[in-house]
Amino acid sequence: MESVEKTLEKNKKQKEFYNTKKKNLPTRLWSFIREKGLKDIRKELGVLQQTYALHREWLGDLSDKKVLDLGCYSGNNLSLYLAKNSASYVGIDLSDKAIEKLNQKLKDIPSAKGLAIDFFSEEFAEGPFDVIYAYGVLHHFKNVDALIDRLQQKLAPNGRIISYDPLKTSYPVWFLRTLYRPFQSDAAWEFPFGRKTFRKFEEAFTIVDQRGVLGTSKWYFLVTLLPLPKKQKEAWGKRAHQKDWERSAQSKRHLFRCMQLNLLLQKK
């Protein structure tokens, strides 16, 4: 099990990585596939729009809430929404360059600020928070037990966590990630959720809601190659996505077929 001290030391390298964005060729290729492939598919099928709408629904009324935007870089899709609508907003990231950009965006919101700081650092004394928003962040921690302990420390009673992370529970995805991992320049802080990680969060928090995306619909990229009308192919993809969306809320078996996971967690 990785110690907190080792995590803190490793995060110094992660900070340098996100400040410079120096990636080797395999990582650049994977990023291209993810951003230009999966992101385009999520846009075409309405996955991103539905995900952000769900997160806003989960956030609810923030007017009396203290919010932590964890690992937000220079601001994610909902950062400004969180800052403008909450009683108090703190966005944190390892990258000082990214936080400098975030603070420029927040300069006219007196109740909001960005901090370049490690979530595990003793210097991070802010909290407790009513809401922790973690978009694409929780899978960056190898020591899940230490992460859960830290989240518990930073959450107010009945506080909630909203997260979005990759899953490796689908066999084709696990296989591709296994092939890619030895060449991955950011492998030291990339740990997509497996069943064991999911169970640890399930035991530590109440899962209020869960939604998986890109389960059956992940095969849409193959469907697009078929000699069929574009509308017909898109219609199939959207039906498949809606199936993923609805079934994953009720069935962990279907959830684990998906590539990405939305969670709404509440402190017990």
Q: What is the CATH number of the domain that holds 184?
A: 3.40.50
Bridge partners for 155 per DSSP? 129
Q: What is the pLDDT of residue 241?
A: 96
Q: How far apart are CA 32 and CA 169, in angstroms?
A: 22
pLDDT in the model for residue 35 = 59
Asked, for residue 126, whether it belongs to a domain, the answer is no
Residue type for 137, please? V
- Give dist(CA 120, CA 7) in Å, integer: 8
Question: 202: domain range?
Answer: 4-105+112-119+137-163+174-267
259 touches 167 (CB < 8 A): yes
d(CA 255, CA 13): 33
Give a yes or no: residue 128 inside a domain.
no
CA–CA gap between residue 187 and residue 13 (Å, rounded): 12
Q: What residue ranges of the chain have pLDDT lower than 70?
A: 20-37, 180-187
pLDDT at 26 (0 to 100): 62
Q: If we measure between CA atoms, which residue out of 53, 8, 41 comes closest to residue 240?
A: 41
Residue pair 113/68 in contact by the 8 Å Cβ criterion: no
Q: Token pair of 145, please?
A: 């037990």
Q: How many domains does the chain have?
A: 1
Within-domain flag for 40 = yes
Task: Report the pLDDT value the prediction gives residue 187, as an integer from 0 to 100.
Answer: 62
Name residue 66's amino acid.
Answer: K
Instruction: Please give the pLDDT value at position 224.
Output: 87
Contacts of 224 (CB under 8 A, 6+ apart): 233
Task: Please state whether the predicted TM-score (pTM) of the whole model is above 0.85.
Answer: yes
164-207 per-position pLDDT tens digit:
999 999 988 877 777 766 666 666 778 999 999 999 999 999 99
* Predicted pLDDT at 33: 61
Note whether residue 198 is domain-resident. yes
- Residue 260 host element (H or E): strand 260-267
169 located within any domain: no
Amino acid at 19: N
